[in-house]
Structures are given as structure tokens and as C-alpha cells.
Amino acid sequence: MALLVSSLKRRTSPENENGGKKTAELHGLLLLENIKQQVNQLAGTLNILMAKVGSGLHAPTYEMPEEFQFPLDSDGELERFEEWLRNPLNERMKTDLATSLSSVGGVDTKRVVWNILARMITCTVARRINWKGVNGKRAFSKMAMKIVLFRAVRKCAITSAAMDADISQHTIRWFNLASDREGGRQERRRQSQDTLPRIRITSGTRVRTGSGTRRTILKQSWTNAGPYLPQIRFADPIQFRADVRLDNGPSPFGGSGPDRLLGAAQIRPS
């Protein structure tokens, strides 16, 4: 009997009660997190279904203008399309065009806006457009295409109540990122390297480290000056901890000149 009472006391002690509460709380938090994930998945699925249903409710009677090939891939085609949109005789067809574009759909306002823009123009054309028309680019905020975009976004079931500010914000962002899409970032990096001054280092040129040690360059190399590391091969391995001097070598910027000091960050063996 005494053992039974002692066992009951241990089971109902404050430490056991606190441990049980913590376990229950942890279990409850895990359940809530699981429910949250399921709700998010259901919400995403519902948005997709609403987009499909919305496009079905507004079945377009006019697909796309036959005289244009979308997405537009040249400035000439873009200008011709702008003239077509500004023509009052095409007002009815503009409405049908917006309805057709709305069927592109998306899971939220950003995706609807981006999908419609990608359907209308290519990235090549988009790189010459921004919202305000700064830096010599075309101002989308003043284009007739902007009206079609806003109409198409609001004809989509998910974004029927989208505010002008939201549509504008996502439009601005889409054009800002156009330069990075379809290899644009790599192309800019290549162009920046091509515009850098070049240093010519010929075979047999001797270099001297800060400690006076001399090494002979084994292979001729054209190298970019600036933040990029030149690729230079030496007859034997060497690590530079100080400046490197090209003894009586050519001036890095053309013509002849005195010895040229290169920082350790600018030259290295390959």
C-alpha cells in the first residue's frame, strides 16, 4: 500500500505535471504547423482553380489580332501595335484582346501581371522600356499597352479587385528584371570585360617580387585590367605577397613606359 501511494505521488508530482504540459504544448504546436501547411497548399490549389474557372466564365470571342505575332519581338512591331491600340475603331477589339490575355492567369497579382506582360512582349523589347521612360527608354506608363494590361489583369477572377498601385508595382518590377532574363546578366558581364583596358605580357618577360626574387613568364597572355585577375603562367610556381614589377615591360595602356607595379591582387600564376 505504501509503495502504491509513493508511486501515485511521483506520477502527480509538479515536475511530472510540468513535463506533461510541455509535451502537450509541443504536440499542439506541431499539429498547428501541419494544419498551416495544409491550408497554404489548399489556398494555392484554390487560386489555380479560380484562375481556370475565371477564364472559362469569360470565354473570349476574339483571340489576338491576326496582324500581330505575340509576343512582340521588335521596336517596329511594338510601335505598330501602339498605333493599333490608339485607333478608336479598334476599341471593341481592344476589350476582346484584354479578355483573351486574362486567360493567361496566375496564382496571385504579381504572377498575373508578369504572365500577361510576357505574353505581349519579349525580354529583348522589354529591356528598352521602363515605367517612367528614364535613361532613354520608352515610358510604359504613357503607352496604350498599359491600359490593355490593367484591363486584362482585372478580367482575371483572382485579380478582379487589384488596385492600380499593386499592378503598377509589379509592372515596374517586371521591367526592372528584364535585363537579367534570358542571359541578359551574362551578356552585361561579358560587355563590361570587353570594355576594360588590356595589358599585354609577352613570353620571356621577367617579373620581380617585393623580395627581389625573379621569375620568367612562360606563356604570352592578354589580360583584363581592373577587378578581374589576369591569368599568367610562370616557369615555376610562385606566390606573391607583395607588389610585382614588370621589368622594362610595355605600358599597360599603350606605348612604352617605365617599370609597372602591379598589386598582388592583380596578378597570379595559373
pLDDT in 10s for each residue of the chain, 270 residues = 544 445 545 555 555 566 667 777 887 888 888 787 787 777 767 766 765 665 555 444 456 788 899 999 999 999 999 999 999 999 999 999 999 999 888 889 999 999 999 999 999 999 999 999 999 999 999 999 999 999 999 999 899 999 999 999 999 999 999 988 866 555 555 555 554 444 444 444 444 444 444 444 433 343 434 333 344 444 444 333 333 344 444 444 344 433 343 433 344 433
Q: Which residue shows C-alpha cell 606566390?
A: 239
pLDDT at 3: 46
Q: Identify the three-state secondary structure at position 85.
A: helix
Asked if the bond preceding 258 is cis, omega within 30° of 0, the reply is no
Q: What is the pLDDT of residue 32?
A: 83
Distance CA 146, CA 139 (A): 10
Handedness of CA 94, 100, 103, 105 (dihedral sign): negative
**206-208 and 214-216: which strand pairing?**
antiparallel
pTM for this model (two decimals) = 0.52
Please tell me the distance from the alpha carbon of residue 111 to that of residue 113, in angstroms, as a whole number: 5
**Which of 219, 244, 241, 243 lies closest to 232, judged by CA?**
219
Query: Which class for 254: exposed (0-12), middle (13-18), buried (19 or more C-beta within 10 A)?
Result: exposed
Give the pLDDT confidence score for residue 33 in this predicted structure. Answer: 81
Residue type, 205: T
